[in-house]
């Protein structure tokens, strides 16, 4: 810890020194200097000793000198009172120093400047040595933490113990990775303003936050935040420790990434082998299945995750650029995190621009759909910038048939339009329409139903779509459209007049279903 002005006042050798104003006592003393003609040689942080020799008697000139010393970064001024120049420290000096926040000390005549300078300089050297010694110990312990830590929270808690300060670690989106969640939420959500120190912001209550990026390569993968309470300025040792801890955390993230990449390669190779049907005759692969937790007698559904093109379409295509590889990598990471969040095994592989998943399906169909929908929502939350579709094939209880589920998922993607979860069973009508050769008949079907309603009123078309989506349950459709029941009844009557049939007619219902499916397949007509 650096030597402060208030520390000097506590030295027993300097009991004849007192502060004339309670300001500037926390300024750090870097060295001791003496007056006169000192301004050209100041570098900041000096305790300036003076007997007032060559100080002008004019109070205005005295104030000017104090201002110049303050601008030069002097830590404090110490006058020896009772000498031949001034009987006491000039009041103008004390007043101007108080306004500037500069400490003014006064020593009695019996205080020797030689003894004073020796005592303070010895203390400065001692504090520098102690600071270096402590920095070395912190450096050593943090380096050990880099080898021993299982999680970034291990390094964060070690740093808190070494410095006696609170520490937070945030991800690039500002979410907490390690640290006291309640305190972090309160501090990081408070208004702040920059301080004069690089990387330090100050909150309204005086709490200071020292921020350092945690880098893995050229990108910042996290941020380390060190907290200093009001009246507890950051020390040099804090800054050095934060910078070294940020480096150690970066190495930890790189090590984690290397382990994760190796594990991902093993799992990806395994999934590819299973989908190729090699599990039945490959004994080594069967042993790996046991180690990875794959149930050879279990039921699995293959899901394919892909980012959509600007038109909202999904396709299997090569990766042409660094951006393509990065997008697929982010998609794979998001899928893995979503699977782990749901405590599902991570069976994941990459093929061109798609991420292939094996989802355990030993649950009722409704439960599988709910879980897959939640998986998609968690995945999307990780990559909000990417439009993503997830297609699911039918579950297979025989691992030798999982390639069929994969083909079904990809066939479903071929007719998927827009983000969301797409199921093979739900897309069968779309696939039939997609393969229909008589496009003229399909367009005529659309124009004779939804197209006619749209021409009369877009609200009628929206009502017909809501009825189809809700199984022609009129009350459910009214709720979906936020309409009063009577309003919906009037619209239904108008729809029946325009289409020339009752909505209870199975043939009209089928035509509306097909028209909605066709319009979703080809887009708005």
Of the ranges 173-187, 245-259, 319-333, 478-492, the best mean pLDDT one: 478-492
Q: Are residues 281 and 382 in the same domain?
A: yes
d(CA 511, CA 501): 11
Is 133 part of any domain? no
- Residue 425's alpha-carbon distances to 300, 393, 411, 414, in angstroms, are 16, 8, 11, 14
How far is the C-alpha of 66 from the C-alpha of 77, rounded, in Å? 9
Domain's final residue, options 255, 288, 308: 255
Q: Which of 59-68, 249-258, 396-405, 462-471 has the highest mean pLDDT?
A: 396-405
Task: Print the domain residue range for 108.
Answer: 5-122
What's the whole-model pTM score? 0.48
Interatomic CA distance for residues 292 and 333, integer angstroms: 18
Q: What is the CATH number of the domain that holds 162?
A: 3.30.450.40
In a domain, 204, yes or no: yes
Q: Are 222 and 170 in contact (CB under 8 A)?
A: yes
Distance separating alpha carbons of residues 110 and 480, to the nearest angstrom: 91
Query: Are residues 227 and 191 part of one domain?
Result: yes
d(CA 353, CA 327): 9
Higher pLDDT: 79 or 358? It is 358
- What six digits make up the tokens of 250? 């970066």
* Nearest C-alpha neighbor of 27 from the set 8, 49, 45: 45
Is residue 25 located within the same domain as residue 153?
no
Domain end point (choices 432, 460, 478)? 432
pLDDT, position 287: 76
- 319 domain-assigned: yes
Q: What are the angstrom distances between the C-alpha of 375 and each of 136, 172, 262, 265, 448?
A: 47, 22, 24, 22, 39
Which of 83-97, 288-302, 383-397, 444-458 is predicted with the least confidence, judged by mean pLDDT? 83-97
Partners of 211 in beta bridges: 225
Residue 267 lies in a domain: no
Look at residue 117 in the predicted model and tell me its pLDDT: 73
Sorted by sequence, the CB contacts under 8 Å of residue 477 that are 6+ apart come out as 463, 466, 467, 469, 470, 488
Together in a domain, 210 and 325: no
- Residue 12 is predicted with a pLDDT of 66
Residue 260, in any domain of the structure: no
- Cα(309)–Cα(413) distance, integer angstroms: 12
pLDDT digits (tens, 9 = 90+) for 175-210: 888 888 888 888 777 776 665 667 788 787 778 888
Is 90 exceeded by the pLDDT of residue 374? yes
CATH number at residue 455: 1.10.10.2840
Which pLDDT band holds residue 524 (cuts at 50, 70, 90)? very low
Total tally of structural domains belonging to the chain: 4
Do 237 and 313 belong to one domain? no
Q: Domain holding 101: CATH number?
A: 3.40.1390.20
The answer to whether residues 196 and 60 belong to one domain is no
299 and 380 inside one domain? yes
DSSP annotation string for 422-470: EETTTTHHHHHHHH-S-HHHHHHHHHHTHHHHHHH-HHHHHHHHHHHHT
- 36 and 117 in one domain? yes
Question: Is residue 365 a part of any domain in this protein?
Answer: yes
Residues in the chain: 525
């Amino acid at each position: 810890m650096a030597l402060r002005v208030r520390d000097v006042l506590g030295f027993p050798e300097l009991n004849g020194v007192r502060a004339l104003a309670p300001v500037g006592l926390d300024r750090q003393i870097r060295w001791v200097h003496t007056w006169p003609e000192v301004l050209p040689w100041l570098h900041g942080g000096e305790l300036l000793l003076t007997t007032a020799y060559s100080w002008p008697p004019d109070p205005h000139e005295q104030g000017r000198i104090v201002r110049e010393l303050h601008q030069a970064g002097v830590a404090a001024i110490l006058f020896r009172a009772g000498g031949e120049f001034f009987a006491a420290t000039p009041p103008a000096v004390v007043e101007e120093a108080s306004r500037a926040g500069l400490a003014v000390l006064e020593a009695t005549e019996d205080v020797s400047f030689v003894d004073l300078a020796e005592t303070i300089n010895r203390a400065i050297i001692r504090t520098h040595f102690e600071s270096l010694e402590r920095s070395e110990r912190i450096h050593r312990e943090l380096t050990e933490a880099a080898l021993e830590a299982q999680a970034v929270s291990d390094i964060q808690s070690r740093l808190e113990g070494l410095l006696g300060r609170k520490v937070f670690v945030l991800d690039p989106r500002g979410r907490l990775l390690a640290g006291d969640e309640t305190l972090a939420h309160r501090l990081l959500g408070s208004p702040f303003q920059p301080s004069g120190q690089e990387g330090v912001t100050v909150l309204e209550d005086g709490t200071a936050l020292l921020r350092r990026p945690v880098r893995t390569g050229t990108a910042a993968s996290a941020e380390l935040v060190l907290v200093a309470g009001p009246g507890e300025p950051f020390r040099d040792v804090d800054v050095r420790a934060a910078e070294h801890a940020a480096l150690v955390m970066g190495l930890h993230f790189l090590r984690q990434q290397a382990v994760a990449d190796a594990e991902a390669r093993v799992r990806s190779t395994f999934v590819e082998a299973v989908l190729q049907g090699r599990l039945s005759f490959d004994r080594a692969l069967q042993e790996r299945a046991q180690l990875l937790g794959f149930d050879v007698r279990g039921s699995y559904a293959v899901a394919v995750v892909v980012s959509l093109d600007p038109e909202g379409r999904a396709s299997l295509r090569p990766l042409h650029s660094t951006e393509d590889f990065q997008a697929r990598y982010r998609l794979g990471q998001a899928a893995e995190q979503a699977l782990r969040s749901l405590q599902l095994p991570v069976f994941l592989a990459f093929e061109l621009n798609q991420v292939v998943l094996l989802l355990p399906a030993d649950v009722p169909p409704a439960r599988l759909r709910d879980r897959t929908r939640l998986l998609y929502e968690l995945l999307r939350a990780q990559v909000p910038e990417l439009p993503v579709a997830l297609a699911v094939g039918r579950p297979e209880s025989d691992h030798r048939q999982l390639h069929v589920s994969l083909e079904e998922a990809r066939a479903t993607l071929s007719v998927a339009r827009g983000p969301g979860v797409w199921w093979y069973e739900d897309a069968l009508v779309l696939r039939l329409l997609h393969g229909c050769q008589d496009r003229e008949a399909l367009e005529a079907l659309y124009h004779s139903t939804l197209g006619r309603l749209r021409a009369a009123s877009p609200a009628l078309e929206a009502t017909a779509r809501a009825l189809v989506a809700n199984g022609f349950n009129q009350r459910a459709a009214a709720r979906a459209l936020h309409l009063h029941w009577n309003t919906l009844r009037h619209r239904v009557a108008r729809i029946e007049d325009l289409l020339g049939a009752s909505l209870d007619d199975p043939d009209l219902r089928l035509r509306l279903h097909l028209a909605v499916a066709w319009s979703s397949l080809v887009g708005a007509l």
